[in-house]
Amino acid sequence: MVIKNDLFLKALRGEEVSRPPVWMMRQAGRYLPEFIELKKKYDFFTRCQTPELASEITLQPFHRFPIDAAILFSDILVVPQALGLNFEMKPGVGPWLENPVKSAKDVAKLRDGDVNDELQYVFDAINLTKKGLNDEIPLIGFAGSPWTIFCYAVQGQGSKNFDKAKAFAFSQPEAAHQLLQKITTATIYYLKEKVAQGCNAVQVFDSWGGMLSPKDYQEFSYQYIEQIVNELYTEAPVVIFGKGCWFALEKMSQSNASALGVDWTITPQLARELTGFKKTLQGNFDPSRLFSSPEIIEQMVTEMIDDFGVYKYIANLGHGILPNVPLENAQAFIEAVVNYKSKS
């Protein structure tokens, strides 16, 4: 199987490219009119759990934009669902868990080890998507970081500060580590199967890592991400994306990950300084900046690539695309990368 456009994979390997590859986090999502049509008919987890729908949604941006990679439409909460946590998506609330984890007893009740039998629908979606992509571009699989999933499992919903999750971690550290390990083990099995089914790379999203101090980040988040990376990197390139975790970039640059995602709170220069060109970097356009005019977006994208450099760089947003971004602005972002010409 040869991917016709392998720019993304080349960048992950640190090979020379004429321009950086580009894709957008949440590119298969709510800013697309064709996605909104499906959203009217099917609830969120129905879309995730129906392979035909998940595949169709994954392919929507591929049919519309000259992206260099597709990312499978799914959700980070499918893993805790498989462990036995009955997450639902409540309108106006977001992720919702009726009975959050409160004690070691609750942790003990959860399934342990390989829960892939519960996740067959994801693997079926990969197979359908691979057919639809027809080896044109690579497919990315993903999972949430153990800490980020822990946050939802204990808090029971989204939060500005995840106070309950942090309180549980710090007051019941033994139970917290047991839960984090259960999530980690299940995630390793899950991502390995995604690769076996045809994903060309995987990304670990640590959306809430930035809630922790650098010391606590090492204890409650990063050591578990590292376990995942060490189990996966010989099978497929792994990208670590920690939102608000720029303080950990130096540590991450010593890992077996192929690339590190960076958000918009750090300059490209500092990100390079902290990682010493050891890793490919991915990011870091502020998603809100997609509300600027297409002309300004183009200018800012060019500056961003100039600052990161073409070598070992993947153009992306610093977090997921927002639902109300105008389509032509998303297009302007992607085309600015595709048409990039370096000054040198």
Residue 75 annotated as part of some ligand binding site? yes
Q: Residue 28, annotated ligand binder? A: yes
Q: Give Dmax (Cα) for the chain.
A: 61
Does residue 313 have a known ligand-binding role? no
271 is in an annotated binding site: no
H/E stretch holding 269 reads: helix 268-275
Which amino acid does the sequence have at 137?
I
User: Can you tell me the distance from the alpha carbon of 73 to that of 66, in angstroms, rounded to the nearest whole number?
Assistant: 18
Q: What is the 3-state secondary structure (H, E, C) of 138-164?
A: CEEEEEECHHHHHHHHHHCECCCCCHH
**Residue 207 assigned ligand-binding role:** yes
108 annotated ligand-binding residue: no
Residue 277 phi/psi, 5° resolution? 60, 15
26 known member of a binding site: yes
- Is 152 labelled a binding residue? yes
> Would you say 25 and 321 are in contact if contact means Cβ atoms under 8 Å apart?
yes
29 annotated to bind ligand: yes
C-alpha to C-alpha distances, 137 to 1, 211, 220, 293, nearest whole angstrom: 11, 34, 35, 29
Asked if residues 267 and 284 have their Cβ atoms less than 8 Å apart, the reply is no
Binding residues: 26-30, 45, 75, 152, 207, 319
Binding site feature residues for substrate:
26-30, 45, 75, 152, 207, 319
